[in-house]
Amino acid sequence: MSNVVIIGAGQTGRGYLNRFFQSESITFLDKDEELIHSLQTEPCYHVSFGPGERKPLALENYNAYLIDSEDGIQAMADADLIMVSVGKKNLKDVAVSLKKGLEARTKDDIDILTAENGVNVKQDLMELCEDQRVHLAEAIVFCTTIGEKWSLDILSQNLDYLPYDVVALGHTLPYENMVAEEKLDVLMQRKIYTYNCISAVVSYLGYYKKYEVYSDAANDAEIVSCIEGILKTLNHCICEEYHISAKEQKEFSDMAVDKFQNRNIVDSIERNARDVDRKLGATERIMAPLAIVRKHDQSSPELLLTAASALYYGKMTKTLLKTEAEYIADLPEEWQKEIVEDLEALGQKKDIADILK
């Protein structure tokens, strides 16, 4: 039995990552005192899935400590594997805590995997590799998990699949459904271009159309038409860029669409749309797909409309940290003009179909 530490006892940590280690000894570490207290006092929590999809899981194989407590540091010192799922902005703080665990460690090698969404998220932990016992790699989370209010229980997509960078790690892991991926960087880019991009379409056009439930927006006819238009162009560009078959990429994008249209996962537009300043970044879900489309001499009116709808969301919620022009300054002038025109049309409450005519 392995000692597995999961840093970050939130939705992904306890609702998804723990499922891969049901036969192992699990320790959750977090800085949230209330959450840790709940895990310490509740002997079990449940992960449920859509009606008829799968029996709920009762998970009880865990201890829980505050990350910088004496018990937390000792858990890191004794771990065989540490999974980190805290959000990119918290990784530097986690690095400080992990150093304490390594200083107290008397065992040999340790595997540390980040389970975050983003490009090169392990960068904030790279200094840990100065300790030659550390094997550091990234994993990619594809599964949606939703916390239940006032409860440890989780509602989850029925997906047990966790790809990790076997090249960076240096060896394979023995845990079921953890998949050794030799080109994780390519898979991550494809995820941003596909999953994250579609998420932006649903989130921001869904906000514009006044949806509150995410899956309702993902099944809206106008939004579905936009997704189909984007994927027709984007899938072609991804195939050319990464030398993969059209069939493989279509199956990948179909999985993304199915995920977001799943009405059993009751997620919110608000949760998926927030943090728009980051999501309008150059390596993120709208601008990165636009960059690959531009690189391959293609265009996508629907993707430009998505950029406009993200700006519209930021404008309406007062969450933009720059001017609208600054967010799109690196795009071709004709694309900038089209986004500005789309933004004006959104302000006039025009139908999506009319804007795209």
Q: What is the CATH architecture of 3-182?
A: 3-Layer(aba) Sandwich (3.40)
Task: State the pLDDT at residue 156.
Answer: 94
Work out the pLDDT band at 326, boundaries 50, 70, 90: very high
pLDDT tens readout for residues 40-60: 999 999 999 988 889 999 999
As a 3-state breakdown, the chain gives helix, strand, coil percent values, each rounded to 5, of: 50, 15, 35
129 pLDDT higher than 80 = yes
Task: State the pLDDT at residue 117.
Answer: 78
Task: State the pLDDT at residue 321.
Answer: 98
Phi, psi for 293 (deg, rounded to 5): -65, -45
pLDDT tens readout for residues 86-97: 988 899 999 999
Question: Among 158, 268, 257, which residue's Cα sits nearest to residue 211?
Answer: 268
b/e 37-74 (16+ beta carbons within 10 angstroms → b): ebbeeeeebbbbbeeeeeeebebeebebbbbeeeebbb
pLDDT tens readout for residues 202-229: 999 999 999 999 999 999 999 999 999 9
b/e 80-111 (16+ beta carbons within 10 angstroms → b): bbbbbbbebebbeebeebbbbbbeebeeeebb
Q: What percent of the chain has pLDDT over 70?
A: 100
- 65: tokens are 């400590």
Average pLDDT of span 180-187: 95
Q: What CATH number is given for 185-355 in this structure?
A: 1.10.1040.10
Work out the pLDDT band at 350, boundaries 50, 70, 90: very high
Task: Answer whether 155's CB lies under 8 Å from 48's CB.
Answer: yes
Q: What percent of the chain has pLDDT over 90?
A: 94
First to last CA, the chain: 60
Task: Answer whether 27's CB lies under 8 Å from 1's CB.
Answer: no
pLDDT tens readout for residues 262-308: 999 889 999 999 999 999 999 999 999 999 999 999 999 999 999 99
Task: Answer whether 220's CB lies under 8 Å from 207's CB.
Answer: no
Task: State the pLDDT at residue 89.
Answer: 87
Task: Answer whether 216's CB lies under 8 Å from 260's CB.
Answer: no
Task: State the pLDDT at residue 42.
Answer: 94
Q: What is this structure's pTM?
A: 0.87
Residue intervals in the chain for CATH 3.40.50.720? 3-182
190 pLDDT higher than 90 = yes
Task: List C-alpha distances in Å: 276 to 200, 267, 308, 313, 319.
Answer: 10, 17, 12, 8, 7
Residue intervals in the chain for CATH 1.10.1040.10? 185-355
Neighbours of 130 (CB within 10 A): 9
Greatest alpha-carbon span in the chain: 66
**Torsion on CA atoms 325, 299, 286, 155, rounded to nearest 10:** 150
pLDDT tens readout for residues 110-127: 999 999 877 788 999 999
**Torsion on CA atoms 349, 353, 355, 357, rounded to nearest 10:** -150
- 199: tokens are 């998420």
Average pLDDT, the chain: 96
Task: State the pLDDT at residue 345.
Answer: 98
Task: Write out the DSSP string of 165-205.
Answer: EHHHHSS---STTEEEETTHHHHHHHHIIIIIHHHHHHHHH
Question: Among 67, 71, 45, which residue's Cα sits nearest to residue 56?
Answer: 45
Q: What is the DSSP letter of 88?
A: G
